Amino acid sequence: MVRLTINGRVVQAEKGEMLLVVMNREKISVPAICNHGAVEAFGACRLCTVEITKNDWNGWKNYVTSCLYPVEDGLIVSTHSETVINLRKTLLDLHLARHPHSEHVRQWAMEYGITQTSFEEIPDGDDCILCALCTRICDRMGFAAISTVGRGHGKEVAPPLNEPPPDCTGCLACAQCCPTEFITFSDSGTSREIWGKQFEMITCKECSKPILTKDFAETLSKTRNIPADYFEVCDECHRKATALTMGKISQWQREDTAS
């Protein structure tokens, strides 16, 4: 165990734990839009940057992204120093210039008092903040169907050669974790479209509700050893069936005790 001070409060943590994890546990909040529990910390948005020092650093301070910084004994952390706040404001200001039409970005900027960007607005700026959560989650799912392409200001998220990605199974993990809801998809009950690729949906045998794409079901049963017929029924109907079974079991038990 190590002891560190965050905003004047002494807290305990496991050695090597990431600072942001400790802060979250202690309910000390900083923005961290490229962070997600399902994937490793990445350090792209830099919004979770905090000021650190130690008693024996002779007043020297460092600025580190808390998502990637392993805590050590004696660390003194300030999450809202003037320099840190200025940095966050600049970052949000830059986002606002690049993504002027994103409601989410406006909201984040507003929380730091920015309603108008100080920089030149980028006219064709889209809503992708390049947090790379989508590509990292896609990797984590085992598909790596999309990735970031290019570099610098022209970087973007795209499927290979900008064509419908062969490895995509239409699982929607990318769209569901996109913090600005930039990744769009359409569901029509029997089919789904994402990244320009069409998918056939499996519908529930019991209630006819769409469950997941056929491609995703096949991949899951193959890679996770789940019986293929598991996906014939939706979660809700699975639960109903379970409840029925449980009901029957308790009835038998009652009958047993009675007799």
Give the shortest CB-75-to-other proteins separation in angstroms. 12
- For residues 211 to 240, the per-residue mask of contacts with other proteins, x marking binding by CB under 8 A and - elsewhere, is ------------------------------
Nearer to other proteins, 57 or 63 (CB): 63
85-114: contacts with other proteins (CB under 8 A): 86-87, 90-91, 94-95, 97-98
Of 23-31, 80-88, 169-177, 180-188, which segment contacts other proteins by CB under 8 A? 80-88
For residues 68 and 252, give the distance between their C-alpha atoms in angstroms, rounded to a whole number. Answer: 55
Min dist CB 49 to other proteins, Å, is 6
Q: Tell me if 57 contacts other proteins by CB under 8 A.
A: no
The reply to whether 43 sits near other proteins by the rule CB under 8 A is yes
| Helices vs. strands in the chain: H and E counts, helices first | 7, 11
- Sign for the pseudo-dihedral over CA of 110, 114, 116, 119: negative
* Of positions 12, 29, 83, 198, contacts other proteins by CB under 8 A: 83
Cβ-based neighbour number of residue 15 at 10 Å = 10
Q: Do residues 127 and 181 lie in contact, with contact meaning Cβ atoms separated by under 8 Å?
A: yes
When asked if residue 45 is in the footprint of other proteins (CB under 8 A), the reply is yes
User: Nearer Cβ to other proteins, position 49 or 213?
Assistant: 49
CB nearer other proteins, residue 94 or residue 177: 94
Question: Tokens 């009901």 sit at which residue?
Answer: 247
Q: Are the CB atoms for 116 and 110 separated by under 8 Å?
A: no
Contact status, residue 134 vs residue 183, Cβ threshold 8 Å: yes
* Residue 140, helix vs strand vs coil: helix
Using CB under 8 A as the binding rule, the residues of this chain from 163 to 202 that contact other proteins are: none
Compute, in degrees rounded to 10, the torsion defined by CA atoms 14, 16, 21, 24.
50
Assigned token pair, 181: 């809801």
Check residue 70 and report its DSSP letter. Answer: B
| H or E element at residue 134 | helix 133-141
Among 8, 113, 123, 154, binds other proteins (CB under 8 A): 154
Query: What tokens were used for 167?
Result: 């490895």
Candidate ranges 83-91, 175-183, 203-211, 245-253; the one touching other proteins (CB under 8 A): 83-91
Please report, as ranges, the residues that interact with other proteins according to CB under 8 A.
Answer: 43-46, 49, 63-65, 68-70, 83, 86-87, 90-91, 94-95, 97-98, 118-120, 129-130, 132, 147-148, 150-155
